Chains A and B, each alone.
Chain A
Amino acid sequence: MNGLLEKYVPIVGAEVIDHLRHLAEPLKGSRVVHVNSTREGGGVAEILSWLIPFKQELGLETSWEVIKGDPEFYQCTKSFHNGLQGAGVTIPAGQLEAFEQTNRDNAEQLRSLLTEADFVFIHDPQPAPLLHFCPERKGKWVWRCHIDLSRPNRGVWKYLREWVAGYDASVWSLADFAQPLPHPLYLIAPSIDPLSQKNRDLYAGEVDAVFDRHGLDPDLPLITQVSRYDRFKDPIGVIRAFQLAREFTPLQLVLAGGGAADDPEGEEVLREVREAAGDDPNIHILLLPADAHREINALQRASTIVLQKSTREGFGLTVTEAMWKGRPVIGGNTGGIRLQVINHQTGFLVNTPEGAALRIRYLLKNREHLEEMGRRARALVLDNFLVTRHLREYLTLMHALRHEGQDRIEL
């Protein structure tokens, strides 16, 4: 025991940590492999960066593997991502061949590790065909889908479905996202790590310093959206909401994001965002490196209100992060944002830039309500969206896979 889990006792309580140890005891020594397509950038990499050490501390032999591909592979998987979230896309046959070949090549590299594992978790579509290329597998294979598949492009889903139907189970963030498959569809919501650089408490001076560093006015209310430069995050809509709200009340906007290694569209979207912002001195567009976790933490804490005006969203971990810092969130009425932003309680759900502008104005005018919403937001995250709950559900899932078909499992 290296004491990693003990650090969470002051936040979640000793009984929660004891519960995890009891759950993990019968799984000790199990070989577990997680596979995704990037080690940095995006919510999946963040989840794996804490999940792996936790499982290791609990006695599970856990490793994290990242598949490698060329630009054509990532173009293809980005199109999958867009298509699965409902966009009309056409994927050239050459890209599909690159997708399959990349998985075939990675399967060669990983085969012995994967086939010997007791549990294999394959994250998102990028490495999904690995199952097909490891026919001699021994353990349980789970496809973990982090994407909003509530209304996928049928052609893209039809193609991918062939690769994922053979898994022993799949895991989805919400019931709304789950697509029918011939295996159990488990539901596990994502989470944040309250002790990570992105979420831990900061000194006041560290928070104040972001105003100087980014040329922000400490006397102006700050609204912030933190997310990749991706059209589904609607950064242009955020700028529009800011412009509408500012006609009534002075404020400043920060759009902070970085690129993910597996997202080739980011630069194009960033260009569009810069164009929409023009030369407005109160719109600050920040391109942060993938490891700028502490900077994002400080920006979220420096914000008066946080926005996540996505039009599609898998879950929206940036929403959870802001809520944990006691900030109300104005979020797009979509996906996992709807589960975190309880309308009028922990923030507001909006459908348009106009709606976002209205709620910005309301909160800036009603500061007591803003503070109260922030307190409720943090309490909701404490009960439901921290890593300890997430880890507990992963462990429960592994037991459930071992006792397939039983509604009541007595260990």
Chain B
Amino acid sequence: MEESFAVKDCGLIAIATGQEAQNLRELRDRVQTIHPGCIYYHFWGGMLSPSFDETEYQNDFAAWAWRSLHDNILAERLAIIDPSQHRKIDSLRQELLDVIEERLAESELVVWAHPGQRFKFIRSQILVFDTGTRITAPTEMAEQIALMSRGSIFYHFIDARRRTDTARSDFVEWLAAFDDPLCMELIRRISAIDPWFTTLTALRQELAAVFDRCTAGGGEK
């Protein structure tokens, strides 16, 4: 029998590590050894933290390459890294290092950021709590998602990719337990949502719309 969906919520708190980089070589050296929480934070944390960076660069490394090193080629390559493709932080770390190494090999000059624009490594602690809300059927989800906090969307849609064995969102994991064509359609549509270039508020609307369309119309239209 399918279990009900337990709605959880979360918050991040950022911690300065005191480590920083002023050029690409220093960034490479720090990334090799930095706390795994920093890699997580600089790829995902921006969605839950006050965000000031330009949204076309979806991780802090790419934004820094563009804004402080003025290296658009590097920024584009870093921006395309998809952290959800990596089950382990060390694998994501390696892809990040590969891109940096490649750029270092191409460049004759090491560009320095201004002293006030060093890359500051930050890590975070994530605090998760149960809201007490339980959802028993996919047909309830559209209404319930609209009521979820940004933290809940982050936890179930973003953080879940690192937490679950299948690297999928909690919504997909839950729906997979139902042997039902409607749920298969929901899984297909939810899996097609790109979590980048958006905000948690917009993601919440997108998810609610998917559930709303499918459950109201009985599937594909």
Contact = CB atoms under 8 A, between A and B. Distances in A.
A106 interface: no
Interface stretch (A17-25, A286-294, A295-303): A17-25
B125 A389 contact: no
Interface in B138-165: 147-152
12 contacts: A14-B147, A15-B147, A15-B148, A15-B152, A22-B9, A23-B127, A185-B16, A187-B122, A339-B52, A396-B13, A407-B37, A407-B123
B99 to A, nearest CB: 23
A176 interface: yes
Residue among A184, A187, A342 having the largest count of chain B Cβ atoms under 10 Å: A187
B50 interface: yes
Interface of A: 14-16, 18-19, 22-23, 150, 172, 175-176, 178, 180, 184-189, 339-340, 342, 380, 383-385, 389, 392-393, 396-397, 399-400, 403, 406-411
B155 to A, nearest CB: 11
Residue among B13, B15, B130 having the largest count of chain A Cβ atoms under 10 Å: B13
Nearest to A333: B116
A198 B126 CA distance: 33
B125 A400 contact: yes
Contacts of B17: 185
Contacts of B150: 15
B30 to A, nearest CB: 14
Contact of A411 (B50, B125, B130): B130
**Interface residue SS majority, chain B:** strand
Nearest to A345: B54
Given A407-B37, A411-B127, 10 more contacts: A15-B148, A22-B9, A150-B116, A185-B17, A186-B14, A187-B14, A187-B122, A342-B52, A396-B13, A407-B123
A30 to B, nearest CB: 16
A340 to B, nearest CB: 8
Contacts of A175: 14, 16, 120, 122
B9 A19 contact: yes
B217 interface: no
Given A22-B129, A175-B122, A411-B129, A187 B16 contact: yes
Given A18-B149, A339-B50, A407 B126 contact: yes
Interface in B41-77: 50-52
Contacts of B122: 175, 187
B219 interface: no
Given A178-B18, A339-B50, A407-B37, A22 B128 contact: no
B212 to A, nearest CB: 18
Smallest CB-CB A-B distances: 5 pairs: A384-B50, A175-B120, A411-B129, A187-B14, A178-B16
Contacts of B4: none
Interface string B97-140: 00000000000000000001000101111111111000000000
B127 A19 contact: no
B116 A176 contact: yes
Contacts of A172: 16
B120 A410 contact: no
A397 B50 contact: no
A307 to B, nearest CB: 20
A189 B11 CA distance: 15
B151 A19 contact: yes
Nearest to A15: B149
B60 to A, nearest CB: 11
Contacts of B18: 178, 180, 185
Nearest to B11: A396
